[in-house]
Amino acid sequence: MRDAFIVGVGMTPLGKHLDKQLRDLGRMACSNALSDAGVHPKEIQAGFCGNALGQALQGEAGIAQSVFWEVGINKIPMVNVENACCSGSTALREAWLAVASGLYDIALAVGVEKTYTEKGGILEIGQADLELKLGLVLPGYFALAARHYMEETGITKEDLALVAVKNRFHGSLNPYSQFQTPVTVDEVLNSPMISDPLTRLSCCPLSDGAAAAVVVSDDVRKRLGKKKIRIAASVLQSGSFENPMNLSWWDLVQRAAKEAYDTAGVGPEEVSLAEVHDCFTISETLHYETLGFAKRGEAVKLLREKSTYLGGKVPFNVSGGLLAKGHPTGCTGLAQIVEAVWQLRGEAGKRQVEDAKVALTHTMGGLKGPDCKAVTINILTKD
């Protein structure tokens, strides 16, 4: 496998886009990425589009073809990727594979989603699974994880609320973020209860949006005169789906992280920043441990010491994360990639991590029994 680089990124602001269709949002992100890369649409040799809910919520299939045609791309292989919340990051991995394998020199990955719709709610998705039919929707699952972890470690509701406080502060520095107003611990705890101990401000919002990245070979990167933002590792794993399982530990994340670190030749101690799947406050907390940044049961130390804040030892979700920036399902993984690229280029403005050299992104999606269906981990380096 040869090295592959990201030379252009683009995204839309995340939030409610009631006046736009999926293809509108995808066009905006792709146009921005192509412009950023200095690449003409006709130079793209393969395209990959991540979307999780378009067919269910908008009745639209073949989204890749619709989005890429909007920016003048046709007559190339186009692949539609559905992999739950990992759809966008899986599309990025497919673009990386296409270039790293030597099959193509220039590929485009886009993730796009519209969750605001008049055709039904997102909680109706996945009802083929018995657990969801019985009521184990995502807030309930992560509430159980939180309760289990609280009993195991003694972490408190106040501690978990610090994740929301941190990420809403980071979101206030990000013009692309859905929520840009800081909150306090009391505001988090006193917001409406969703699934005890998770309140509304402990949960990520529904969002619309799109993000895209242009992936190229080193020869193309040199021709374009772009910085070396290398995809050092791009890992996709699925769960073991074994039962019973520890509800507050995801073995598949630990496995994926080990593979990513080994492939990239770095460890957690060398990561400058991490964008992780904080769909609920407990999620980010547990990922401090599954990704190797804290020992089992010691994630609370990072929160209380503000080690994961901007300016801390390892800033997490400086974009605002899913809790503040938003969670447009099929877009989320690529939105994390866009933030990572901006950080490594030094283009993140008020939320810039000082001397960022290694960025980790992590997305997980879907439930199957007590386990998650998929996880992606990407490591980008500024060579």
For the annotated catalytic residues, the residue numbers are: 85
**Residues in a beta bridge with 280:** 203
Q: Rounded CA gap, 211 and 342, in Å?
A: 13
Tell how far CA 249 is from the center of its chain.
19
Residue 190: both structure tokens together: 């006193």
Q: Rounded CA gap, 44 and 75, in Å?
A: 10
**Residue that has been written with the tokens 């909680």 in this structure:** 123
* DSSP 3-state percent helix, strand, coil across the chain (nearest 5): 40, 20, 40
Q: Rounded CA gap, 119 and 117, in Å?
A: 5
Residue 195 backbone dihedrals phi, psi, to 5 degrees: -155, 105
Burial class (CB in 10 A: 0-12, 13-18, 19+), 18: exposed
- Asked if 295 and 328 count as a contact pair (C-beta separation under 8 A), the reply is no
- Asked if 163 and 278 count as a contact pair (C-beta separation under 8 A), the reply is yes
Q: Rounded CA gap, 374 and 366, in Å?
A: 7
**Residue that has been written with the tokens 């408190």 in this structure:** 156
Question: Pick from 9, 6, 14: which is nearest to 210 by CA?
Answer: 14
